[in-house]
Amino acid sequence: MKIVMLGAPGAGKGTQAKMIAEKYTIPHISTGDIFRANIKNGTPLGAKAKEYMDKGLLVPDELVCDLVVDRIKQDDCKNGYILDGFPRTIPQAEALTDALSKINDKVEFAINVEVPDENIVNRMSGRRACVGCGATYHIKYNAPKVEDVCDTCGEKLILRDDDKPETVQKRLDVYHEQTQPLIDYYKNQGVLAEVDGTVDMDLVFDNIVKLLEA
């Protein structure tokens, strides 16, 4: 199963991608997580990516595409994978299509999680991310058992710098301009599946599973 998650920042892509990856035992590949890990480890890639991420801008395509194309060639991706946060631009989608077509392969499902902009700022300001394992929570909709402590690894939960309202609006503008066109791109490939992302996260998940197994 080769799946791409589409949707605005905060639509719930990561939340759903983790559940799908677990259900179908396929790797969850999040470019945002990869960049954050690089920042944490102080790599040159992390330093470059951070300049853009802090401003709510996309990291340039040339820093993203090879990284993902190399990742999906690894052994654990043989039976499929779920890409979360990639592609985010038409050139990225084309790079993925090209890399896959070289091995006679293609994306099977592009799942668009639909959430209107009005709901996004609220979602993002309540999002908390674990500094240890990257797990995400929401102070209201998916609260950790102990405030500001990760259920899974016990590390501290933080509000990401780029989840502050002033940066979120920029990220939404960038989403509409550069990422939303991917909906039509995958519609034209005949692999688009759309779900309502405003309902409870378990229900969103049930609806995605129905689409995958239809």
Query: Looking at the annotation, which residues are catalytic?
Result: 13, 88, 127, 160, 171
Instruction: Tell me the one-letter amino acid at 46.
Output: G
User: By CB under 6 A, is residue 31 in contact with ligand ADP?
Assistant: yes
Q: Which of 115, 117, 113 is nearest to 193 (CA)?
A: 113
For ligand ADP, the closer of residues 9 and 150 by Cβ is 9
Report yes or no: 31 and 4 within 8 Å, Cβ to Cβ: no
Instruction: Specify the DSSP element, H or E, that contains 207.
Output: helix 201-212
Binding ligand ADP (rule: CB under 6 A), the pick from 2, 3, 6, 12 is 12
Residue 142 found at the interface with ligand ADP (CB under 6 A)? yes
What are residue 114's DSSP bridge partners? 196
Q: Over the range 185-209, which residues count as b (16 or more CB within 10 Å of their CB) and which as e? A: bbeeeebbbbbebbeeeeebbebbe
Among 3, 6, 14, 135, binds ligand ADP (CB under 6 A): 14
Local structure of residue 84 (DSSP, 8 states): E
14 binds, among Zn ion, ligand ADP, none (CB under 5 to 8 A by kind): ligand ADP
Q: Using CA atoms, how far apart are residues 40 and 149, in angstroms rounded to an integer?
A: 19
| Residue nearer to ligand ADP on the CB measure, 126 or 132 | 126
Which residues from 93-132 bind ligand ADP, rule CB under 6 A? 123, 126-127
Positions in the binding site for Zn ion (CB under 5 A): 130, 132-133, 135, 150, 152-153, 155
157 three-class SS: strand
Q: Tell the smallest beta-carbon distance from residue 152 to ligand ADP (Å).
A: 14
Chain residues binding ligand ADP by CB under 6 A are: 7, 9-15, 31-32, 35, 52-53, 57-59, 64, 85-86, 88, 92, 123, 126-127, 136-138, 141-142, 162, 171, 197, 200-201, 204
